[in-house]
Amino acid sequence: MSTSTLITAEEYLLHADSGRPTELVEGIIRAMNPPGFRHGQICNTIGRLLGNFVDEHECGRVVSNDSGVITRRDPDTVRGADVAYYSYETVPRDHTPDGYPPGPPDIVFEVFSPSDQRSGIDQKVNEYLHAGVAVVCVVDDRGKVVTIHRCEQDAQVLGEAEEMTLPGVLPGFVVAVSKLFA
């Protein structure tokens, strides 16, 4: 499904549900394939591990289920993050936006789906970083690796035997990469 007229993020938020997952890319609604069971399982695991840590340390919120992140304006792009973390500095504790938050999340996790192409994931990573996301973690079940991207730094690839930490963004968070694929 696509539109011939460019729409804004605000118009997209109110757009009637087509019954298929979509994203807004440069003002045009683009249909996406629904991800499979394994993708959902990995997203849930990430959300649970990250969410438990965030709740215990009372430092922010974790969202999932393709919650919208505005990565570009004029024309607008809204990407559906698989899992995202917003610190209370980014979205204050007493504020729960009905629509898209005014700023980017601190961390985004993107999980490869069977239909994903490397070029599409790379584009999303670049959009997230350009929009101000501090850390983008790409989780690849096929290779059993997590690639951590930060602005103006080389990507860090972690295998199953390693631990993932996110210092500077989520101090104290440590998880064995293998747990993401269990």
> What pTM, to 2 d.p., does this model score?
0.94
Task: Give the single-character DSSP code of 16.
Answer: P
pLDDT confidence of residue 86: 98
pLDDT means over runs of 10, the chain (182 residues): 77 87 94 92 98 98 94 96 97 93 95 89 97 98 96 96 96 97 92
Region of residue 124 (phi > 0: left; psi between -120 and 50: alpha; otherwise: beta):
alpha
Scored b (16 or more CB within 10 A) or e, 26-57 reads: ebbbeeeeebeeebbebbebbbebbbebbeee
Residue that is written with structure tokens 């490397």 in the block: 118
Q: Which CATH superfamily is domain 35-180 in?
A: tt1808, chain A (3.90.1570.10)
pLDDT confidence of residue 44: 97
Give Rg (Cα) of the chain.
16
Map residue 165 onto helix, strand or coil: strand
Residue 39's contacts (CB-CB under 8 Å, 6 or more residues apart) are 82, 111, 112, 113, 114, 141
